[in-house]
Each structure stands twice: as structure tokens, then as C-alpha cells.
Amino acid sequence: MVLPLRYCVRYNNQVKAGGVIMQSLVSRDLLTDELEALVRAGHYPSTEEAIQHAIEVLLTANPLLRRGVAVDLLRRGKVTLSRAAEIAGTDMETFKQYLAQAEVVVEVDEPTEEVVAGARQIQQVRDSNA
């Protein structure tokens, strides 16, 4: 079971999760050595790929972190709204609802002419169907 981050406390080389204290598998002192050992053992072609896989596993196991990453990347303009929803592991409408509840403002970078032209097309379709 993966506990939300707020229930996990890390201190020294131990992790306290849900009242249970466990020895951490990764120590700060040996982090570089452990990454290099993974590469030397043939598990990954590079330390970058080992880190990428570790982050993928972390985000897959913890939806709250995944959603937080998606929101941060969206706020900083690193990803589009649709890509942020994909990273969050949800459909676009659900992600938009989450953004609204969290009061996250998303600026749309559409040229005014395109927005006006699109609105005209929608109005023409509505008028022709009326």
C-alpha cells in the first residue's frame, strides 16, 4: 500500500509510514554509488535512465504526486493542458475540474483572431441547425 506523502516522514536513514518505521533502501551518502552500481550490474544503460525509471515508478505509485507534478509543469508552461492531464493520469475534463477546485488559473495562449474565428464558426453551425 502506498501512503500519501503527508503520512510519510523521513528522518536519518529511516522512513516512518503509517506508524511503521522502516529502514530506507537508499541512503543519501551512497546514492551516487547505488546508481552507478545499478548501471555496472547491467540493470540500466545509464544513471539518467535509472533515475527516470525511479521517478516513473514513484509517480505511478502515488497519484497525488503525479497530479502535483502535472499542475507544476502546467503552471510553468512546460506542458500543455492535455499533456498535464495525461501526466496526472486522468482525462482532460476531470483534470480541468481539479484545476478549478484547486483554484489554478490556466492562461490559454490562443491568438485573438483564432478565438473569434472559432466562435463565428460555432455560431454559424448553431444558426444553420436552428
pLDDT tens string 62-115? 999 999 999 999 999 899 999 999 999 999 999 999 999 988 887 766 667 877
pTM above 0.75, yes or no: no
For residue 47, which of 31, 60, 61, 62 has the smallest C-alpha distance?
A: 31
pLDDT tens string 10-52? 545 555 555 666 666 667 778 889 999 999 999 999 999 999 9
What pLDDT, on a 0 to 100 scale, did the predictor assign at position 112?
Answer: 74
Q: Which residues contact 28 (CB under 8 A, 6 or more apart)?
A: none
Starting at the edge strand found earlier in the chain, the sheet holding 8-11 runs: 8-11, 14-17, 20-23
Domain residue extents for the chain: 63-107
Q: What is the maximum span of the chain, computed from C-alpha positions, in angstroms?
A: 71
